[in-house]
Amino acid sequence: MLWKILVARHLTALLKCALIFAIMWAGRAEGNAASKPHVISFGKWTSTKWPNATGQKLLDIKVRALFVDARLKEYTTGIPHELTDRLFVVRRAFRVNDALPGESAAASAPKWEWQRGGWLLVDRLTGRVTQLNLPEFDPFYSTASWYRDYVAYCGVSEDGKKLYVMVAQVGRRKAILKKEDGEPIGAEEPDSECPAPAWERTPMRVTFQPNDKEKLVFSIRSRVVDVVNDAEEAEE
pLDDT at 137: 97
Q: How far is CA 29 from CA 20, 23, 98, 234, in A?
A: 14, 10, 48, 19
Overall pTM surpassing 0.85 (yes/no)? no
Residue 235: DSSP 8-state: P
Residues belonging to the chain: 236
- Give the residue ranges of the chain where pLDDT is below 70: 1-35, 104-108, 223-236
Residue-wise DSSP of 10-21: HHHHHHHHHHHH
- Cα separation, 139 vs 91, in Å, equals 10
3-state secondary structure 57-121: CEEEEEEEEEEECCEEEEEEEEEEEECCCCEEEEEEEEEEECCCCCCCCCCCCCCEEEEEEEEEE
pLDDT at 13: 57
pLDDT at 132: 96
pLDDT at 98: 87
Report pLDDT digits (tens) over 93-140: 999 998 888 776 666 678 899 999 999 999 999 999 999 999 999 999
pLDDT at 99: 85
